[in-house]
Amino acid sequence: MRGSFEVLVSSRRLQYRFTIRRNVTVIRGDSATGKTTLIDMIQDYNENGIDSGIAIKCDCKCVTLGSRNWQRDLRELENSIVFLDEGRRYVMSQEFAEIIRHSSNYYVIVTRERLENIPYGVDEIYGIRTSGKYGELKQSYHEFYRLYENIPYGRQGMNPQKIITEDSNSGYQFFIGAFEDRECVSAMGKSNIASLVAGFSEPVMVIADGAAFGPEMERMTEIMKVRKEIYLYLPESFEWLILKSGLISRENLQAVLANPAEFIDSEKFFSWEQFFTEILTESTRGTVYQYNKKKLAPVYLHEVSKAKILLQMKPFLEKIGW
Amino acid sequence: MSQLLNIYYGDMPEAVFNTEVFFKNSYADEWIVDDFSKQMIADVDKSCVLGTGVIDSPVLGKIAPERLSGGVKTLMLIKFMPEMVFNASTCGNNCAKWLLQIAADEDRTVNLRNIMNFGEDPFELKVLNTGQVVHSMRELLPIAIEYV
């Protein structure tokens, strides 16, 4: 499935309106915000249709997934938005991750667990808030909000001398070359970043793929609340930065970058980072910019290339005093 | 002397994971009308207990105890079933102060599978994974992130 979907779920008392943009959306936040109530409403509608007193408006089917026979149910579902409430232990399993990896469905998962097996995006972690009441029926209106819309930065202009990247692939190789007067450290995997950062006392900049960094966000932002000089830069991915830079030309590229959801098939790409890697690799094959995720071609560190890529980071770099 | 909140981070097979279902089949009427429960329900759910079987919610109307938030239901399980361990990651950060208050009167052990924020005021809790007693998020975080 591809595209983004507006969802409206309503009853006499309640209305939820939100947009699902990627294959995996996570809902968490405080207790008593209406997460379980939303899932219950969708389940009531699934089981009773119009008799439920609930209306759902969406261009694709919205269903809930229970605890029993979940593997069988998942295999039978296609092109649907599947909602899961917390309390489903299997959501943490590798088996669940493997099944949804090759599924045409989108998933909305209520959980405070990390779900480290699932590479969900930082932008698709939401809380629910009540925005007011509508009309004479005093219907409460609920909407999703991005939990990490405004990542809490420390003091501006701290000029961190240390950079941490997720791994030692092309991105790391680029940042070593681009910031050669700073120390660049590979965390050897995104799940190691929080521990690594916690061990440093000096200002540090973390660069990671926002498209798959969701499982790390709670740990990172909690550390950032007690350690003020941590700066988090989360582009969709390093490949996305290159594509945005204008270095590479490709038919339809601007349209893809403006609205990736319309082009990324959930059955083929578990995370958007994989999609951007594929189109960068395809677009540069046989050219001087031939992209290899494991080893960065030297051309990307030529002055013009470097400047174009770094220009995409300019607002962030200015904020930290570079 | 105040008692301690004991936390085990990460997977804990003996802990009740799905507190929603457990509450539905285990709660007692007197839990709902207990003064401490009433305070938790008022604070977390912004709702008023009218009787053992009815709570007045500003959003949902008159509801049964089963429709209280997952967080409040888990808090009540922790409060009234001290011999058991529950998955407290079904509680949001707005339940953290209540966890500490429950354990202020009598030791409690809970299972946490995420980083709950216990706020900026000093507190005392024990991380069972390491045996360390901590007093702030600054002390707690480096330990917790190793397990969840």
Burial A253-262 (b: 16+ CB within 10 A, else e): eeebeeebbe
Number of C-beta neighbours around residue B2 at 10 A: 10
Considering Cα of A36, then A89, then B21, then A78, what sign does the dihedral take? positive
Rounded mean pLDDT, B55-73: 96
Question: Does residue A154 carry a pLDDT above 70?
Answer: no
Domain edges within chain B: 5-26+68-144
A31–B17 C-beta distance less than 8 A:
no
Model confidence at B40, pLDDT cuts 50, 70, 90, reads very high
Nearest-CA distance A198 → chain B (Å): 6
Residue whose pair of structure tokens reads 């008023």 in the numeric block: B48
Q: Closest approach of chain A CAs to the CA of B105, in angstroms?
A: 23
Residues A15-27: tens digit of each pLDDT: 999 999 999 999 9
Query: What's the distance, Cα to Cα, between the start and end of chain A in Å?
Result: 41
Is beta strand A5-10 parallel, antiparallel or unpaired with respect to A14-20? antiparallel
Mean pLDDT estimate for chain A: 93
pLDDT band, very low/low/confident/very high, at A135 (cuts 50, 70, 90): very low
Tokens of B112: 């946490």
Shortest Cα distance from A11 to chain B (angstroms)? 11
- Confidence grade of residue B70 (pLDDT, cut at 50, 70, 90): very high
What percentage of residues in chain B have a pLDDT greater than 90? 97
Give CA–CA dist B73/A86, Å, rounded.
14
The chain-wide mean pLDDT, for chain B, equals 96
Per-residue pLDDT of A97-116, as tens digits, reads 999 999 999 999 999 999 99
What are the pLDDT digits (tens) for A242-285?
A: 999 999 999 999 999 999 999 999 999 999 999 999 999 999 99
A 10 A CB-CB count for B18 gives 18
- The reply to whether A139 touches chain B by the CB within 8 Å rule is no
Q: Do A36 and B61 touch (CB under 8 A)?
A: no
Q: How far is Cα A230 from Cα B7, in angstroms, rounded to an integer? A: 27
Residue A131 pLDDT class (50, 70, 90 cuts): confident
Contacts of B19 in chain A (CB under 8 A): 87
Q: Where are the domains of chain A?
A: 5-146, 162-320
Cα within 13 Å of Cα(B24), Cβ side: 8
Angle, CA of A30, A18 and A58, to the nearest 5°: 135
- Tokens, residue B54: 């009815």
Amino acid at A47: E
User: Do A58 and A81 touch, CB atoms closer than 8 A?
Assistant: yes
What pLDDT does A319 receive? Answer: 82
| Percentage, residues of chain A above pLDDT 70 | 97
Mean pLDDT, residues B66-84: 98
Residues 93-132 of chain B whose Cβ lies under 8 A from any Cβ of chain A: 93-95, 113-115, 117
Return the SS3 of A197.
Answer: helix
Nearest-angstrom CA–CA distance, A247 and A286 = 15
CA nearest to B139 within chain A: A226
**Distance between CA atoms of A174 and A176, rounded to whole angstroms?**
5
Distance CA A55, CA A51 (A): 10
B57 forms beta bridges with B61
Per the document, the length of chain A is 322
pLDDT beyond 70 at B36: yes
Q: In this predicted structure, what is the pLDDT of residue A138?
A: 65
Instruction: Chain A: give the shortest CA distance to residue B73, in Å.
Output: 10
For a pLDDT cut of 90, what percent of chain A falls above it?
86
Residue B7 to residue A124: CA distance in whole angstroms: 29
Distance CA B94, CA B60 (A): 20
Identify the pLDDT of residue B147. 97
User: Is residue A46 pLDDT above 90, yes or no?
Assistant: yes
Taking the Cβ of residue A223 and every Cβ of chain B, the question of whether any pair is shorter than 8 Å is answered with yes
SS (H, E, C) A243-258: HHHCCCCCCCHHHHHH
Residue A241 is given by DSSP the state H
Query: How large is the average pLDDT for residues A290-297?
Result: 96
DSSP character string of A33-71: SSHHHHHHHHHHHHHHGGGGT-EEE-SSEEEE--STTHH
* Over residues A43-72, mean pLDDT: 96
Task: Round to whole Å and give the CA distance between A247 and A245.
Answer: 6
Using a CB-CB distance cutoff of 8 angstroms, which residues of chain A are in contact with residue B72?
31-32
AA identity, residue A172: Y
pLDDT 10s digits, A165-192 = 998 999 999 999 999 999 999 999 999 9
Q: Among partner residues B59, B117, B146, which is closest to A222 by beta-carbon distance?
A: B117
Nearest to A2 by CA among A103, A72, A70: A103
Task: Give A320→chain B minimum CA distance, Å.
Answer: 23
Residue B83 has pLDDT above 70, yes or no: yes
Contact B145 A223 (CB under 8 A): yes
CB contact at 8 A, A297 and A306: no
pLDDT at position A137 over 70: no
pLDDT at A153: 61
